[in-house]
Amino acid sequence: MRKINSRSFIRATRSTPREINRRIVLNLVHDHQPISRADLARRMSVGRGMVTTFVNELIAEGAIYEGAAVDAPRGRRPKMLYVRTRDRLVVAVDVRFSRTYLMLADFSGTAIALESFETVVEPEVLVAELARRIGRLLEEHATLGGCEGIGLVVPGMTDHRTGRVLNSPQLGWRNVDIRDALANATGLPVQVENAPIACALSHLWLGERGGEAHSDFVYVTISDGVGAGIVVNGQVVRGHGNTAGEFGHVPIALDGPMCLCGARGCIEALTSNLATLSRYVGQQLSPTATRELLNSTGLTVTDVIARARAGDERAAAALDETGRYLGAALATIVNAINPTLIFVGGEITEAWDRLAPVVRAAIRERALTEVAAATPIITEPASSYPRLRGAIALVAAPAYAAPQVA
pLDDT in tens, 101-123: 999 999 888 899 999 999 999 99
Residues 355 and 290 in one domain: yes
Quote the radius of gyration of the chain (alpha carbons, Å): 23
Among the ranges given (70-79, 100-109, 225-234, 363-372), the one the predictor scored with the smallest mean pLDDT: 70-79
Which residues form the domain of 57?
A: 19-83
What pLDDT is attached to residue 298? 76
Q: Would 311 be classed as within a structural domain? A: yes
Express each pLDDT in 318-348 by its tens digit. 999 999 999 999 999 999 999 999 999 999 9
Residues 92 and 69 in one domain: no
What pLDDT is attached to residue 206? 66
Among the ranges given (68-77, 182-191, 383-392), the one the predictor scored with the smallest mean pLDDT: 68-77
Residues 147 and 265 in one domain: no
What gap in Å lies between CA 76 and CA 352, rounded to an integer? 52
Residue 295 has pLDDT above 80, yes or no: no
Q: Would 364 be classed as within a structural domain? A: yes
Q: pLDDT band for position 161 (50/70/90)?
A: confident
Q: Would 13 be classed as within a structural domain? A: no
Residues 264 and 393 in one domain: no
Secondary structure of the chain in the HEC alphabet?
CECCCCCCCCCCCCCCCCHHHHHHHHHHHHHHCCECHHHHHHHHCCCHHHHHHHHHHHHHHCCEEEEEECCCCCCCCCEEEEECCCCEEEEEEEECCCEEEEEEEECCCCEEEEEEEECCCCHHHHHHHHHHHHHHHHHHCHHHCEEEEEEEEECCEEECCCCEEEEECCCCEEEEEHHHHHHHHHCCCEEEEEHHHHHHHHHHHCCCCCCCCCCCEEEEEECCCEEEEEEECCEECCCCCCCCCCHHHCECCCCCCECCCCCECEHHHHHCHHHHHHHHHCCCCCHHHHHHHHHHHCCCHHHHHHHHHCCCHHHHHHHHHHHHHHHHHHHHHHHHCCCCEEEEEEHHHHHHHHHHHHHHHHHHHHCCCHHHHCCCEEEEEHHHCHHHHHHHHHHHHHHCCCCCCC
Residues 154 and 269 in one domain: no
Residues 29 and 97 in one domain: no
Q: Would 404 be classed as within a structural domain? A: no
Q: Would 110 be classed as within a structural domain? A: yes
Express each pLDDT in 39-79 by its tens digit. 898 898 888 888 888 889 888 888 888 887 776 666 677 88
Among 56, 83, 110, the domain boundary falls at 83
Residues 310 and 334 in one domain: yes
Residue 208 has pLDDT above 60, yes or no: no
Q: Would 235 be classed as within a structural domain? A: yes
- What is the CATH number for 170? 3.30.420.40
What gap in Å lies between CA 258 and CA 296, rounded to an integer? 22
What pLDDT is attached to residue 64? 84
Residue 209 has pLDDT above 50, yes or no: no
Bond from prior residue into 34 cis (ω within 30 degrees of 0)? yes
Q: Would 283 be classed as within a structural domain? A: yes
Residues 172 and 92 in one domain: yes
What pLDDT is attached to residue 74? 65
- What is the CATH number for 35? 1.10.10.10
What pLDDT is attached to residue 406? 45
Give all strands of the β-sheet with 341-346 in edge-to-edge order. 235-236, 226-232, 217-222, 341-346, 377-381
Among the ranges given (26-30, 49-53, 224-228, 293-297), the one the predictor scored with the smallest mean pLDDT: 293-297
Residues 275 and 298 in one domain: yes
**Mean predicted lDDT score pLDDT of the chain:** 86
Residue 15 has pLDDT above 50, yes or no: no
Residues 194 and 243 in one domain: no
- The domain tally of the chain equals 3
Residues 312 and 221 in one domain: yes
Buried b (16+ CB within 10 A) or exposed e, 313-352: eebbebbbbbbbbbbbbbbbbbeebebeebbbbbbbbbbe
Q: Would 4 be classed as within a structural domain? A: no
Percent of the chain at pLDDT > 70 equals 87
Residues 147 and 266 in one domain: no
CA angle 395-400-403, nearest 5°? 110
